[in-house]
């Protein structure tokens, strides 16, 4: 048998089988129907959230913050900030013990990691307990739960510095009276820009030894 003839016969037979196969055609896709299906779906709105940076966020709110915590605010003028502290001291033990002193501590304008001249002498007031003890000395105890207070004078040292002298009377201590000098300072820069803080609180006629003995 001729091998060449045999190969050509098989080749023709295979070719006939391959020729009988029809090429596959891609199925037609109705894109308009698909587009209509997706267009009818209600996709949720796209929400973009950003993380707030309190150090650079200097926006002024349109309304006062609804908070029970009394602290410096853009809504408090220098007079209002001073009056808020005096009112807190007048009701020192409401709603909690020494709450009035806590309010004054929030208004302080010193670095808790450095010594401060808040009371007129250099003291370490970083811990609240050290700050609290000062008000139980002979010089400052008149402020606690006092009966009345009256501003007797004020002086605008600079645009952002204001000094007020206040006469305080305490009938619960047999009519004790004391004159205290509040130095209010408005901060510039940062997220507390424009808020009034207490830079110093001094008592007239107070000796340093009365303060140094408790801390």
C-alpha closest to that of 133 among 106, 98, 182, 108: 98
Taking only the tens place, the pLDDT of each residue in 142-156 is 999 999 999 999 999
Q: Is 140 domain-assigned?
A: yes
Q: Is 44 domain-assigned?
A: no
**Would you state the pLDDT for residue 206?**
83
Query: Which residues, in sequence order, are CB contacts of 191 under 8 Å at separation 6+?
Result: 54, 55, 56, 57, 58
12: helix, strand or coil: helix
Q: What's the structural domain count of the chain?
A: 1
For the chain, what is the mean pLDDT?
79
Q: Is 116 domain-assigned?
A: yes
Is there a contact between 199 and 109 (Cβ–Cβ < 8 Å)? yes
Structural domain for 154, as ranges: 78-212
CATH at 83: 3.10.450.50
DSSP assignments along 104-135, one per residue: HHHTB-S-TTS-B-TTSS-B---SHHHHHHHT
Read off the pLDDT of each residue in 55-60 and give the average, rounded to a whole number.
41
Whether the pTM exceeds 0.75: the reply is no
Taking only the tens place, the pLDDT of each residue in 111-141 is 999 999 999 999 999 999 999 999 999 999 9
Q: Is 28 domain-assigned?
A: no
Q: Is 45 domain-assigned?
A: no
Residue 148, H or E segment: strand 148-158
Q: Is 22 domain-assigned?
A: no
- pLDDT band with cut points at 50, 70 and 90 for residue 33: low
Q: Is 61 domain-assigned?
A: no
């Amino acid at each position: 048998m001729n091998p060449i003839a045999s190969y050509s016969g098989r080749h023709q037979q295979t070719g006939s089988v391959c020729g009988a196969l029809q090429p596959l055609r891609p199925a037609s896709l109705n894109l308009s129907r698909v587009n209509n299906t997706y267009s009818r779906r209600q996709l949720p709105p796209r929400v973009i959230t950003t993380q707030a940076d309190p150090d650079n966020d200097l926006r002024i709110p349109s309304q006062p913050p609804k908070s029970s915590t009394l602290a410096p605010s853009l809504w408090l003028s220098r007079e209002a900030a001073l009056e808020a502290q005096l009112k807190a001291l007048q009701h020192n033990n409401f709603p909690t013990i020494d709450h009035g002193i806590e309010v004054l501590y929030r208004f302080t304008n010193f670095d808790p990691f450095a010594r401060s001249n808040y009371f007129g002498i250099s003291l370490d007031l970083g811990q609240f307990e050290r700050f609290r003890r000062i008000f139980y000395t002979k010089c400052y105890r008149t402020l606690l739960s006092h009966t009345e207070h009256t501003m007797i004078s004020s002086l605008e040292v600079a645009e952002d510095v204001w000094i007020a002298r206040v006469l305080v009377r305490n009938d619960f201590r047999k009519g004790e009276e004391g004159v205290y000098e509040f130095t209010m300072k408005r901060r510039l820069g940062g997220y507390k820009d424009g808020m009034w803080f207490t830079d110093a609180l001094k008592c007239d006629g107070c000796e340093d030894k009365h303060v140094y003995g408790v801390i």
